[in-house]
Structure 1
Amino acid sequence: MLNRRHIRIKVMQSLYAFKGHESDDLAKDEKFLMHSLDGMLDLYFSILALLTELHKKSKNYNEKLQKKLLGSDSDRNPNTKFQDNLLLNIISDNKMLQEVISKRKLNFWDLDFEYVDILFKDIKNSKLYEDYISNPETDLKTDKKFIIDIYTEIIAPNDKLYDYFEDKKLTWVDDFPVVNTVLLKVLGKIKLTSPETKLIPDLYKDEDDKEFAKELFKKTILNNSKFAEEISKKTTNWDTERLASLDGLLLKMALCEFQKFPSIPHKVTINEYLEIAKEYSTPKSSLFINGILDKIVKEYQSKALHPKTGRGLM
């Protein structure tokens, strides 16, 4: 589910919130980092729980129409294409997924049903819904496209839902774009023959990625003074405010990778932090960071310091 950039962003956020010192016990802060990373899975599963509740809502809505004493012909024979949606049925019928949602106590939509009602109403009133129910096609491809479209255009951009997630867990605000990308990718690959585990991604690609998160966090903190001193020597023409900001933190994390992670190429590290700076820092941050890191790498290479190891590394 997480790639290395997502991990770096989470480490950056945890380091930014870190209030301790190099000599402090890092166990508590490391636990916060791992909990924050795991929280991305909670957000992912809570969104699938929301889709399950929207599916349930469509069934209940049609049942109420059919039971209306003075209902019209259209009420007695409602369009059931939404409740028959193949992707929604795959999600709702996935016992393994529903057990995970229940175990993690993420099925909170029963209590906060008003958000389900709001989204269901928005979906019903949309042009996407109108086009969908009038489309004679009933295959998985058509049904997946509809769910992905309403999620992208109606559910994810909903301000009330965004505020709700922010109130539920503060870290979810930053996680939302990443989780949305993962969710849409997973849903897009679902087939009728897919195993139940297809909807339950692993948080990390492998154990190395999990260890990378822990080590990057700890080693950046434990070498904070050393990295700060090295950076200051290369930034005599830059103001201290910039170094005290997020830019300074990103530089320290990059130095940590240069010195403490010999298998990660310099180029990979630089590119990753430039992209993070573009997204999270100031417009000029990437230029500043690129200039400093390029200067440091050239010095390391000229003095044969902190060599990289492995095939194709530079």
Structure 2
Amino acid sequence: MINRELIRIKVVQLTYAYYQNGNCNVENAEKELLFSLDKAYDLYHSLLDLIVAVTRVARQRVDVARARHERGEGAKPSERFTLNKFALQLEENATLNEWRGRQKFTWDDDVTAVRSVLDSIEASEAYTEYMAAEEEPDYAADRELWRKLYKTFVVDNEEIDKVLEERSLYWNDDKYIVDTFVIKTIKRFNEKSGADQELLPEFKDMADRDFAVKLFRTSILNSEQYQHYMTQTTKNWDFSRLAYMDVVIMQIAIAEMLSFPAIPVSVSINEYVNLAKIYSTPKSWRYVNGMLDSIARYLNETGKMLKPLPER
């Protein structure tokens, strides 16, 4: 589940924190990096579990409405939404239930936020159409409904974001990426798999975990050398105008360009320019883009890096 984009974000965050904390122990900082990635995987499970929590609150509302109906108050409630085949399968998922059993906090502790999500869903056109349909929904339709509901009412949900931020500071910048993996997981669910449906693994393979550790360690241990490369190529750039975060971002970019031969230079530059847009000043990315291009050409010309360069 954890991809290179998220790894780069974490490495930038932890490298910056490493220097802000006065160059703490590298081994401890590395453990913090891996812990941060583990927490992102917890976020993935928590967001899947939110679907289950919403379904359970909806079930409680149906139970209350049914009791009123039996007393002669109001119409008989529909159970269509609470019997959504995808949501029921997710509720029974063995891996998600095992994860939930290890957690100190669940969505039961933030039921107000869960009810708010359900309120928005029940007021939506998609929900109204789903509940009013005459034909019995099949599994594919039930799964597609939740894909749409998640994209509409969980992605960019400020109330949910606030709850998650209170649960873990590690989740501040993770959700927009993890949301994509939740949606991917919804699309991958297969009715025949039942409770044994596989969720996404934390790492696609160990190469991604090794990428995280190597990128972090290399950028820290070779920082003086990489910053020397920066000063060698700043003749046309006002180095003093760069924010310290830009220096950190470029340091990590150089580590990636030199340490991972299979990653194209253009990919590395684009990834770190994007990170400069997110984490630094509004104009920083232009300096980072130009300087990384110059640095890459310097490394190539001096024989320190033997990879094709991006076209100008």
TM-score by length of 2: 0.89
Residue in structure 1 matched with residue 108 of structure 2 by the alignment: 110
Offset at residue 215 of structure 1 (A): 1.1
Residue in structure 2 matched with residue 17 of structure 1 by the alignment: 17
Residue in structure 2 matched with residue 124 of structure 1 by the alignment: 122
| Secondary structure of 1:254's aligned partner | helix
Q: One-letter code of the match for 1:120? A: L
Matches of 2:38 and 2:72 in 1, distance apart? 48
Residue in structure 2 matched with residue 45 of structure 1 by the alignment: 45
Matches of 1:292 and 1:238 in 2, distance apart? 7
Matches of 1:267 and 1:194 in 2, distance apart? 41
Paired residues in the alignment total 307
The reply on whether 1:54 has 2:54 as its aligned counterpart is yes
Conservation of the 8 A alpha-carbon contact between 2:245 and 2:280: yes
Offset at residue 85 of structure 1 (A): 0.6
Residue in structure 2 matched with residue 29 of structure 1 by the alignment: 29
**RMSD (CA atoms):** 2.3
Residue in structure 1 matched with residue 86 of structure 2 by the alignment: 87
Matches of 2:131 and 2:8 in 1, distance apart? 43
| Secondary structure of 2:109's aligned partner | coil
> Which 5+ residue runs of structure 2 have no aligned equivalent?
none
Offset at residue 96 of structure 1 (A): 2.7
Matches of 1:290 and 1:155 in 2, distance apart? 34
> Which 5+ residue runs of structure 1 have no aligned equivalent?
none
Offset at residue 256 of structure 1 (A): 0.9
Offset at residue 178 of structure 1 (A): 0.5
Matches of 2:243 and 2:228 in 1, distance apart? 12
Offset at residue 263 of structure 1 (A): 3.4
Which piece of structure 1 moves more, 4-13 or 196-205?
196-205
Matches of 2:31 and 2:241 in 1, distance apart? 29
Matches of 1:184 and 1:276 in 2, distance apart? 23
Matches of 1:197 and 1:231 in 2, distance apart? 51
Matches of 1:241 and 1:165 in 2, distance apart? 37
Offset at residue 120 of structure 1 (A): 1.9
Offset at residue 200 of structure 1 (A): 2.1
| Secondary structure of 1:97's aligned partner | helix
After superposition, residues 255-266 of structure 1 pair within 5 angstroms as 255-266=254-265
Offset at residue 266 of structure 1 (A): 1.9
After superposition, residues 215-234 of structure 1 pair within 5 angstroms as 215-234=214-233
Conservation of the 8 A alpha-carbon contact between 1:186 and 1:199: no
Percent of aligned pairs with the same amino acid: 32
Conservation of the 8 A alpha-carbon contact between 1:52 and 1:88: yes
Q: One-letter code of the match for 1:9? A: I
Give deviations 1:199-236, integer Å, cap 9, x for gaps. 52112111111011011111111111221122022224
Offset at residue 52 of structure 1 (A): 1.1
Offset at residue 49 of structure 1 (A): 1.7
Offset at residue 196 of structure 1 (A): 4.8
Give deviations 1:223-260, integer Å, cap 9, x for gaps. 11221122022224544454343221111111112223
Matches of 1:71 and 1:115 in 2, distance apart? 31
| Secondary structure of 2:146's aligned partner | helix
Residue in structure 2 matched with residue 179 of structure 1 by the alignment: 178
Relative to structure 1, is the Cα distance of residues 124 and 282 closer, same or farther in structure 2, using a 3 angstrom cutoff?
same
Offset at residue 20 of structure 1 (A): 4.9
| Secondary structure of 1:174's aligned partner | coil
Matches of 2:156 and 2:5 in 1, distance apart? 24
Residue in structure 2 matched with residue 70 of structure 1 by the alignment: 71
Relative to structure 1, is the Cα distance of residues 229 and 212 closer, same or farther in structure 2, using a 3 angstrom cutoff?
same
The reply on whether 1:269 has 2:268 as its aligned counterpart is yes
